[in-house]
Amino acid sequence: MVARASRGILDDITVVDLTTFVTGGFATLMLANQGAEVIKIERPEVGDDSRHSGPPFVDISDYEGEGRAASEHGESPYFWTVNYDKRSVELNLKSEEGYEICRELIDEADVVVENFRPGTAERLGLGYEELAEDHPELVYCSISAFGDSGPWSDRPGYDLLIQGMSGMMSVTGPEGGDPVKVGLPQTDLITAMWSAFGIVNALYRRERTGEGERVELGMLDAALPWLTKQAAKAFVGDEPTRMGTKDPVLAPYQSYPTADGYLNVACGNQKLWEQFCAEIGREDLASDSRFESNADRVENMDALEAELAETLTERSTDEWVERLADDADLPVGPVYSVDEALDNEQVNARGAIETLSHPAAGEIPILEHPLNYAESESGFDEAPPLLGEDTEAVVEALGYSEAEIEELRRKGVLSS
């Protein structure tokens, strides 16, 4: 493999990433953030599907170094956010030579991650059972929409479908309105986090036993545990519904209009509620029988909303935040735009947004991951790769000569 500087908890772990799009990509991104070397296998000339997701795109047509944009429009910033610190190798897995190179990479790796439809990896000769025969210490993660068992296992799936089938869309959106998709690829990211968690657990087991492991999960399975309070209602016969920003079991716990925007108010216990009422000059609400306990407030949520909206619209969001959060230490906060969320004094102080030098696009912003250790390092060191940027270096490290690499390019095994 291509050597990297030692820096993170997983710095001795090599991952072969056979995935495309977000679910597997974010899982291996999490491993890269902790120091793992991630070799991303991509289709020649096409690459990962997320390279084509846009606009927006960044024009890199003047770049003359190794690698290139997969899309005729340029580089996708969406692809960047899921692929920092990885190496891109263009490899035709359907060719005999491409398969052999992939097997050689896997023989030197610790982890393989794939998100093919169930059965596809086996047809390519890259299923867990076949690989584990020669590499019994391998940790292998299989991700699919519905898992590799059950009547829906052969169905394709994307985040939108899983949001709908997991119940998420039924509880997202305005009361009485249409189902609404969460504005993020929520179930992709949920599944990615479960996948990375499972992989690290399997690596820990390998440390104890010397044995490899297969981690298998479906996106629908991954999404269901996140229903929590909505599932709790369903389990006792209540039907969770869309409630806008309201919460099914806490009040006040929602967004309220202010004079110039919105304010989130999260009173998670009785003490906070009573203090909140005092600070906004509405002690009458704390003594109102409709709002005496949290259960009362949940039962009378609409009436509570009307009372609080009347008061909170008297001041601007910034005024309320200063008065309630800064001065009174209450859990309230503004509703930021994405731009505001990415650029504010707290985010800047924590170094949550950094920059890295991209080989073709110059300095680009990166979203750092939130784990901070007392005794270990984490974080991204390198920009996301251009398509095929590392093909030659990675294949050379396997022992292939320049002439052999050129012949593989001629045959279409590697990108030309």
User: In tens digits, what is the pLDDT along the chain, a chain of 416 residues?
Assistant: 555 555 799 999 999 999 999 999 999 999 999 999 999 999 999 999 999 999 999 999 999 899 999 999 999 999 999 999 999 999 999 999 999 999 999 999 999 999 999 999 999 999 999 999 999 999 999 999 999 999 999 999 999 999 999 999 999 999 999 999 999 999 999 999 999 999 999 999 999 999 999 999 999 999 999 999 999 999 999 999 999 999 999 999 999 999 999 999 999 999 999 999 999 999 999 999 999 999 999 999 999 999 999 999 999 999 999 999 999 999 999 999 999 999 999 999 999 999 999 999 999 999 999 999 999 999 999 999 999 999 999 999 999 999 999 999 999 999 87
Sheet containing strand 14-17, edge to edge, reads 86-90, 37-42, 14-17, 111-114, 139-144, 213-218
381 in catalytic set: no
Among 17, 47, 28, 41, smallest CA distance to 101 is for 41
Q: What sections of 169-316 are H helices per DSSP?
A: 186-209, 219-223, 229-235, 270-279, 283-287, 294-299, 301-312
Give the contacts of 58 (CB within 8 A, at least 6 positions apart). 74, 75, 76, 77, 361
Which residue in the list 48, 110, 188, 221 is annotated as catalytic? 188
pTM of the model: 0.94
- 362-367 and 353-358: which strand pairing? antiparallel
